[in-house]
Amino acid sequence: MAKRVAIIGAGISGLLACKYTLEKGFRPVVLESKGGIGGVWAQTLETTKLQTPKLVYEFSDFPWPSTVKEEFPNSNQIMEYLELYARKFDLLRHIKFNSKVIGIDYEGTSNDEILSWSLWGGTGEAFGPRGKWNITVQEANTESTQVYEAEFVILCIGRYSDLPNIPVFPENRGPEVFDGNVIHAMDYSAMDNATAAEFIKGKRVTVVGFQKSALDIASECAKANGVKHPCTVLYRTEHWSMPNYLPWGVPLALLYLNRFSEFMIHKPGEGFLLFLLATLLSPLVFGISSLYNSIVCYCRECIHPRIPQLAIIGYSESLANLYTSEMRCRWLAHLLDGSFKLPCISDMEKDIARWENFMKRYSGRYFRGSCLGVVHIWYNDQLCKDMGCNPKRKNGLLGELFEPYGPADYRDLSPIESSK
């Protein structure tokens, strides 16, 4: 049977999915609605930089160019890095730009049959015996539609592209009664820098929200208008934003990105020893609940147990999303080439419930988004075990306990037997 793979989106996740499926011998087609790669990084505020140090926002086998000295590169530098990566691994020729996916339909198996399966896709393997996806694509330049067929779809459409989150206002109490402009942060980011600066110049601006975009826009307003037209920030939930990656003068990586820090918390699926350790060390956990917030409904955060032949990369987030998407794409490429099978659906559902309970336990009132928080080593361990790779990537016990983990640790990841 043909094994056609379609990837939707050419942001970081789509590029990674393309690279790792190519490595396994597939010839994927990447469908991207915009005219270029990069996803969210292609259109940002003038002041937007990485908020994650570049060492953990790096492709494992493609370091940042030595010309980028900054620890937090800006969006232009990030775009250049992504373009270099796409060229290095010859990804561009697999991407169809200006191709917006407007529908995907699964064909070949009835809903009743799907509901009767005890294994994902009926077999636990990536490619089912009969089913395929029909992907309807609208081409931007011609407005015509075309249907692509694929035996496997990888959704890499991100969480912050195209669909602004705008509340529904009660009648006559929304923007229509306001004698001014109401726009979403996405529209503001889409303006070129000069237009955006002109748009806020001399205006009284109210920013709704208290997360990163809101604070960045407030800071651009403050810069443009000073004390003459101070901007107002309206928020419903206060969020603790870390000023930088050196809380109390200690590098964040030492606090959160090593195995020792993960010992302090209970982890989904932990054994008795780890449970005991987490219970004993729990008094040391301080102020990290906002780093966990999640609604998880995917196995390994990628696969919905009841949706066959489809994976989602980049929906659930982490502290360093590039790194997380890369690990998932490697895992998925192994699943696609049949290196391992998924457990039965009921086990997948139990595992998902364990992760969800874990997230609820630690995120408290912040439980809403979808973020791995600081259990990413534990999470990567599960991916490594599925792939048959050694999850312990450091030299010696001390290194294993206290050295921060990052993308470079997984550079030479290969199954234990084949690396012998």
Ligand X SMILES: NC(=O)c1ccc[n+]([C@@H]2O[C@H](COP(=O)([O-])OP(=O)(O)OC[C@H]3O[C@@H](n4cnc5c(N)ncnc54)[C@H](OP(=O)(O)O)[C@@H]3O)[C@@H](O)[C@H]2O)c1
Ligand Y SMILES: Cc1cc2nc3c(=O)[nH]c(=O)nc-3n(C[C@H](O)[C@H](O)[C@H](O)COP(=O)(O)OP(=O)(O)OC[C@H]3O[C@@H](n4cnc5c(N)ncnc54)[C@H](O)[C@@H]3O)c2cc1C
Considering only residues 132-161, where is the footprint of ligand Y by CB under 6 A? Answer: 156-158, 160-161
- Encoded one letter per residue, x for contact with ligand Y by CB under 6 A and - for no contact, window 72-111 reads ----------------------------xx----------
Residues 156, 12: Cα–Cα separation, whole Å: 8
Instruction: With beta carbons less than 8 A apart as the criterion, state whether 13 and 313 touch.
Output: yes
Among 265, 317, 316, 267, smallest CA distance to 287 is for: 265
Decide: is 50 part of the binding site for ligand X (CB under 6 A): yes
Q: What is the DSSP letter of 168?
A: P
Decide: is 167 part of the binding site for ligand X (CB under 6 A): yes
Q: Which does 53 bind (CB under 5 to 8 A by kind): ligand Y, ligand X, none?
A: none
Report the run of H or E that residue 397 belongs to, with start and end.
helix 396-402
Q: Which does 100 bind (CB under 5 to 8 A by kind): ligand X, ligand Y, none?
A: ligand Y
Which region among 23-31, 46-54, 100-108, 382-390 touches ligand X (by CB under 6 A)?
A: 46-54
Instruction: With beta carbons less than 8 A apart as the criterion, state whether 13 and 157 touch.
Output: no
Decide: is 252 part of the binding site for ligand X (CB under 6 A): no
Residues 376, 221: Cα–Cα separation, whole Å: 36
Decide: is 219 part of the binding site for ligand Y (CB under 6 A): no
Residues 193, 191: Cα–Cα separation, whole Å: 6
CA atoms within 13 A on the CB side of 59: 23
Decide: is 263 part of the binding site for ligand X (CB under 6 A): no
Q: Which does 167 bind (CB under 5 to 8 A by kind): ligand Y, ligand X, none?
A: ligand X
Decide: is 244 part of the binding site for ligand X (CB under 6 A): no
Residues 143, 156: Cα–Cα separation, whole Å: 22
Give me the least distance between CB of 273 and ligand X, in Å please.
34
Which region among 31-39, 250-258, 294-302, 374-382 touches ligand Y (by CB under 6 A)?
A: 31-39
Decide: is 320 part of the binding site for ligand Y (CB under 6 A): yes
Decide: is 51 part of the binding site for ligand Y (CB under 6 A): yes
Residues 326, 151: Cα–Cα separation, whole Å: 22
Strands (E), 36-142: 95-96, 99-107, 132-139
Considering only residues 175-214, where is the footprint of ligand X by CB under 6 A? Answer: 185, 208-214
Q: Among 5, 6, 18, 31, which residue sits at the site for ligand Y (rule: CB under 6 A)?
A: 31
Among 383, 241, 398, smallest CA distance to 325 is for: 383
Q: Which does 236 bind (CB under 5 to 8 A by kind): ligand X, ligand Y, none?
A: ligand X
Cβ neighbours for 283, distance < 8 A, ≥ 6 positions apart: none
Q: Which does 156 bind (CB under 5 to 8 A by kind): ligand Y, ligand X, none?
A: ligand Y
Alpha carbon of residue 347 to chain centroid: 24
The full DSSP string for 201-226 is TT---EEE--SHHHHHHHHHHHHHHT
Q: Among 4, 19, 34, 54, which residue sits at the site for ligand Y (rule: CB under 6 A)?
A: 34
Decide: is 326 part of the binding site for ligand Y (CB under 6 A): no
Give me the least distance between CB of 195 and ligand X, in Å please.
19
Decide: is 237 part of the binding site for ligand X (CB under 6 A): yes
Decide: is 305 part of the binding site for ligand X (CB under 6 A): no
Residues 74, 47: Cα–Cα separation, whole Å: 8
Residues lying near ligand Y in the complex (CB under 6 A): 8-14, 31-34, 39-41, 44, 48, 50-52, 57, 100-101, 156-158, 160-162, 314, 320-322, 325
Residues lying near ligand X in the complex (CB under 6 A): 48-51, 160, 165, 167, 185, 208-214, 216, 235-237
